[in-house]
């Protein structure tokens, strides 16, 4: 579907962010003909604060997707 992906690879395109004492925010980033992964990572990085807890429904799945995205965009982020 996008350059660098293998067949049947998961492509994260949305996330829900719940912050205690604030509103629930839901993001849908799927854009036609554009890989949503880098924009998802950039937005999530801006919104997640350095202090606090992160809870995931299916943590092992989520960690796997983050590792895949990190490998895919490591060269872009580092230089």
What is the structure's pLDDT at 60?
94
Domains of the chain: total? 1
- 37 vs 54: CA distance, rounded Å: 19
Is residue 58 in a domain?
yes
Is residue 46 in a domain?
yes
Per-residue pLDDT band at 6 (split at 50, 70, 90) = confident
Region 17-24 average pLDDT? 71
What is the structure's pLDDT at 65?
92
Tens of pLDDT along 31-48? 677 888 888 888 888 888
Range of the domain at 70: 14-78
Using alpha carbons, list the distances in angstroms from residue 74 to 2, 7, 34. Answer: 17, 21, 18
């Amino acid at each position: 579907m996008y350059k660098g992906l293998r067949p049947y690879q998961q492509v994260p395109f949305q996330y829900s962010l719940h912050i205690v004492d604030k509103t629930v925010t839901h993001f849908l980033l799927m854009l036609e003909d554009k890989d949503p992964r880098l924009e998802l990572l950039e937005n999530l990085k801006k919104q997640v604060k350095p202090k606090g807890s992160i809870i995931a429904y299916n943590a092992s799945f989520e960690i796997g997707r983050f590792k895949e995205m990190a490998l895919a965009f490591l060269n872009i982020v580092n230089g």
